[in-house]
Chain A
């Protein structure tokens, strides 16, 4: 009888994806388009010459490591929530949030490193673009950290468990996306700076 019930009530939603999760994916598409536009602008502009050459800050390697690590710990949080290991969930989420904040701090120091090399926001577009990429990504990452903190709070209220995973899944999708976006930007810069 339960199965039949699920059938009728699901009828208003012919495909099984949660509308809010779907909306998140669409939001991700729009963010992808922003960065696609900026990175193509970078290539177009670079091909025109008069392009400042400088070394990328080494600290980007560390920040990339941090953000990849945070994706791992978030996945740990995700599986813990799925298996109802709530203590591990809290621990893993806290570590992820801290790693997220660490990433932001390392990005800040990448700006410091840029200034040390006399590469400023105002000046040759080669440098300006770098600031725009990292800055705009950081703004998105701040929203990701806020999202993580919200999940963290609800995990301390025992609102996240194997029966209630929507927020957790959305947070994980967004966070992995932001990590992937940074990796893309970093590889892009390595190849094209």
Chain B
């Protein structure tokens, strides 16, 4: 008896089906503990940050592409950062680059991507009422919000925001005297990132716990959609790597504000020796890149997961190599932790160590190539339906290939001596990580918008948005390869001071023009997003004819997701175009016993087992009803 009372207590605290939810505006839209609302909060915040991050990049692209341009029309927002002659302040240029990187990597592609889709999709696709802890989930968003506010405020400081690059290497970032961007802006950067780490850890702990503990009946790991696998492994990477960034940032805070010498040694400023001795700047790089490299996969894996789901659905074919996809995700997860020093080939690292890291780095090409192969073979001879989400997913695969190829160059420690910190690197990671993850985010928004808001986004605007963005991205980043091979370093304010880079002035102009067009094209999406939220065509329950569980919920699912029992899962999520089946998709909730026409021989065996379980369940249901009476 006692045991039963404990288990029923546990079930009540996690099942919300009997709860009546009378939410006020504040508990529904602001301090919400509903994973769907928290996901939307992350999404809208991510869009806000993407606009700011994009705008900053346009400002520095204006400087790079049109160095003689009179920028005084920007003075209303940029104020004193544009001087009397209409020129951008060189120090603020550094701050722009830094903030663009920080915002895009952390606030858009980590919080905006993982935060949105892990929150929104994990409970819906595994069949759970909510996250393991709704309160922690809410905290996760509000820590992110706090971190956002601090970072936003730092943009308006008198000395400007942090300016030492998004990697904030000491000693540049540790000494206030070094540049204006190492003053208060840097302090706020560190404070903001601390809250960001807390937010990521709270979120990640929740995602992992939910995926492991709260799957519905029948949802074994071998039946999880690849989106969930990707979100799960992303959270694992975050859990292991963000604490290391915290450690690195903590020591940097001590160096900056308390005068310790973890990263500082033998520095002279204006002829005066600083008191710091015995620190090691390379130590910071080790700690930073131990997070920094896995962070690349924190950004990328969710996008790959979303792509797997969208491509399989819209090719009307099972994903090719489901298990290979999972193994390659696992491979990337493990390898992501043993390659960090390939960012440090020219830091004075022991060349022998460099070759080991080069070897490990190049191995990552294997799981990545497996994934690309599987995407292409899923598309091969499928009944392709080119929804906007599908186009963005295919775009992702394209960027993943073209950006991944240059990764093989950069991973070689010898070639990296020439290419390190040039525009070749900029081109590489903007394609393979930045644009690919961004396209994954957009594909996810187009695909799950009907589930989020119960309405459809306009497809025609989606196509225009896709083509402008897709072509625009290549126009922006492809020419950068040439500039980089020629040896031009990133983060430089001006191109015209050196003979060898003079000849790229027109190419830079082209890049900047393309960047502006691409940025403007995003407003088509913004309009489509907010307009469709209120005025879009009302969606059907399963508009993409998809198999996963989220499409079995009502059009506007309440907190708790399913009005009645949580559905049971009987099959994997990729039964598209199964030979013999009546329709070209069989949702996960359809028992094998009701589809004898399409069952494979081994599935016919499973039918017997399934019938036994269902019979047992029936008995329990009857028993429950008797008990209630």
Is A18 positioned at the interface, with any CB of B under 8 Å from its CB?
A: yes
- Check if A190 is an interface residue, CB within 8 A of chain B: no
Q: Please determine whether A12 and B258 come into contact, CB atoms closer than 8 angstroms.
A: no
Q: Give, as a whole number of angstroms, the nearest-CB distance from A30 to chain B.
A: 5
Given A26-B205, A37-B243, A6:B261 Cβ within 8 A: no
Residues of B within 8 A of A122 (CB): 258-261
The smallest C-beta distance from A120 to any residue of chain B, in angstroms, reads: 9
Q: Is the beta-carbon distance between B136 and A13 smaller than 8 angstroms?
A: no
Interface residues on chain A, number (Cβ under 8 Å): 49
Contact between chains at B133 and A23 (CB < 8 Å): yes
B interface residue numbers (CB < 8 A to A)? 1-4, 6-8, 10-11, 14-15, 128-129, 132-133, 136, 201, 204-206, 208-210, 212-217, 219, 239-244, 246-248, 250-251, 254, 258-262, 265, 277-280, 283, 286-287, 290, 566, 617, 619-621, 623-624, 627
Residue pairs across A and B with Cβ atoms less than 8 A apart, 10 shown, are: A12-B129, A13-B213, A19-B210, A23-B205, A27-B205, A30-B239, A30-B240, A37-B287, A121-B254, A122-B258
Q: Are A45 and B283 in contact (CB under 8 A)?
A: yes
Q: Which positions 16-48 of chain A face chain B at CB distance < 8 Å? A: 17-20, 22-23, 26-27, 29-31, 33-34, 36-38, 41, 44-45, 48
Q: Enumerate the 4 nearest inter-chain pairs by beta-carbon distance, A residue then B residue, closest first.
A: A33-B243, A19-B132, A37-B247, A37-B244
* Given A5-B624, A13-B214, A37-B287: A50 and B277 interface contact (C-beta under 8 Å): yes
Do B566 and A2 touch across chains, with their CB atoms under 8 A apart? no
Instruction: Answer yes or no: A61 CB below 8 A from chain B CBs.
Output: no
**Contact code string A42-58 (vs B, CB < 8 Å = 1, else 0):** 00110010111000000
Q: For residue B537, give the distance in angstroms from its CB to the closest CB of chain A.
A: 35
State the main secondary structure of chain A at its contact with B.
helix
Q: Smallest CB–CB gap between A96 and chain B, Å?
A: 26
Contact B283 A15 (CB under 8 A): no
A-chain residues with CB within 8 Å of residue B129 when the two chains form the complex:
12
Q: Is the CB of A9 within 8 A of B133?
A: no
Min distance, Cβ B220 to any Cβ of chain A, angstroms:
8
* Chain A residues within CB distance 8 Å of chain B: 1-15, 17-20, 22-23, 26-27, 29-31, 33-34, 36-38, 41, 44-45, 48, 50-52, 121-126, 128-129, 132, 136, 163
Indicate if the CB atoms of A5 and B278 lie closer than 8 Å: no
On whether the beta carbons of A1 and B623 are closer than 8 Å, the reply is yes
- Report yes or no: B209 in contact with A19, Cβ–Cβ below 8 A: yes
Contacts A11-B217, A12-B14, A19-B132 known; A6 to B623 CB distance under 8 Å? no
B244 & A12 in contact (Cβ 8 Å cutoff): no
Contact A12 to B623, CB < 8 A, known contacts A6-B7, A20-B132, A27-B205: no
| Across-interface contacts of B254 in A (CB, < 8 A) | 121, 128, 132
CB contacts (< 8 Å) of A123 on chain B: these are 260-261
- Kindly identify which residue among A12, A34, A132 contacts B214, using a CB–CB cutoff of 8 Å: A12
> Out of B206, B219, B286, B624, which one reaches A23, CB within 8 Å?
B206
Q: Which residues of B contact A33 (CB under 8 A)?
A: 239-241, 243-244
Question: Is A10 a contact partner of B7 (Cβ separation < 8 A)?
Answer: yes
CB–CB A125/B4 < 8 A: no
> When chains A and B are docked, how far (Å) is the Cα of A33 from the Cα of B240?
6
Question: Are the CB atoms of B620 and A19 closer together than 8 Å?
Answer: no
Complex Cα spacing A124 to B260, Å: 8
Q: Verify A17–B213 contact, CB threshold 8 A.
A: yes
Bound together, the chains give a CA A44 to CA B251 distance in angstroms of: 14
Q: How far is the CA of A48 from the CA of B209 in the complex (A)?
A: 41
Closest chain B residue to A36, Cβ basis: B244
Output the nearest chain B residue to A30 by Cβ-Cβ distance: B243
Q: How far is the CA of A29 from the CA of B204 in the complex (A)?
A: 12
B623–A19 contact, CB under 8 A? no
Q: Closest CB of chain B to A66's CB: distance in Å?
A: 26
Which one of A11, A19, A52 has the greatest number of beta carbons of chain B within 10 Å?
A: A19
Chain A residues closer than 8 Å to B286, beta-carbon distance: 41, 44
Q: Nearest Cβ in chain A — how far from B3, in angstroms?
A: 6
Q: From residue B123, how far is it (CB to closest CB) to chain A in Å?
A: 11
Q: Which one of A2, A19, A41, A128 contacts B261 once the chains associate, using CB atoms below 8 Å? A: A128
**Complex-state Cα separation, A26 to B623, whole angstroms:** 38
A52 to chain B, nearest CB (A): 8
- What's the Cα separation between A7 and B617 when bound, in Å? 9
Asked if A34 and B247 sit within 8 Å, CB to CB, the answer is yes
Could you tell me if A9 and B212 are in contact, using CB atoms closer than 8 angstroms? no
B248 to chain A, nearest CB (A): 7
Q: B284 — nearest CB in chain A belongs to which residue? A: A41
| A4-B620 in contact given A12-B216, A19-B132, A128-B262 (Cβ < 8 Å) | yes
